[in-house]
Structure 1
């Protein structure tokens, strides 16, 4: 199973573009910061992750406000066939209430 759920802010976002197959796509960098417990010890976690939204979700994602916290769900995949870098593929997201 390959599922990822993360609360993050949209730090940077490219403009909506289209793949050669005509699929809308938006790339972005998400920023996460939280407190986690590991082996009974509190730990601050901070990271930035490259993300992409494709298809129907791309339009909504392309208009989402920067700097606002969202709950994202999706999966991880290699950036391309020969890459070792991972990209978070966003399936859905919603603003944190």
Structure 2
């Protein structure tokens, strides 16, 4: 199963673009910070991840203010350039909007 759920803050959003199939697409950068337990010891985790929304989710992502936090869900795939991973966002649960797609 390829499923990722991440609590994160929206730190960057590109301009709306369209796929060759005509679907709206938004490039994003998400930032996550938390404390997790690894082998019984606490560990600080801080990361930025590139993300992409395609289709109906772009309406919700474009309405989300920069700096806003939410729970982003989706899957991981190879980036378009074949280097690294890209988080494809398919659902958003925003704390003040409570919208689920």
**Shorter-chain TM-score category?**
over 0.9
Task: State the 1:84 CA deviation.
Answer: 3.4
- What are the Cα deviations for residues 48-77 of structure 1, in whole angstroms up to 9, with x where unaligned? 000000000012111211111100100000
Aligned length: 96
- What are the Cα deviations for residues 17-73 of structure 1, in whole angstroms up to 9, with x where unaligned? 111211000001000000000111000000000000000001211121111110010
> How large is the RMSD of aligned CA atoms in angstroms?
1.2
1:11 counterpart = 2:15: no
Q: Please identify, of 28-37 and 13-22, the stretch whose mean Cα deviation from structure 2 is larger.
A: 13-22
Structure 1 residue runs of 4 or more that deviate by more than 3 Å after TM superposition: none
**2:84 alignment counterpart:** 85
Structure 1: runs of 5+ lacking an equivalent: none
TM-score by length of 2: 0.90
Task: State the 1:96 CA deviation.
Answer: 2.7
**1:25 alignment counterpart:** 25
Q: Could you tell me whether the CA contact under 8 Å between 2:60 and 2:92 is conserved in 1?
A: no
Task: State the SS of the aligned residue for 1:43.
Answer: strand
In 1, distance between residues paired with 2:4 and 2:62?
Answer: 20
**2:99 alignment counterpart:** none
Task: State the 1:16 CA deviation.
Answer: 1.1
Task: State the SS of the aligned residue for 1:58.
Answer: helix
TM-score by length of 1: 0.93
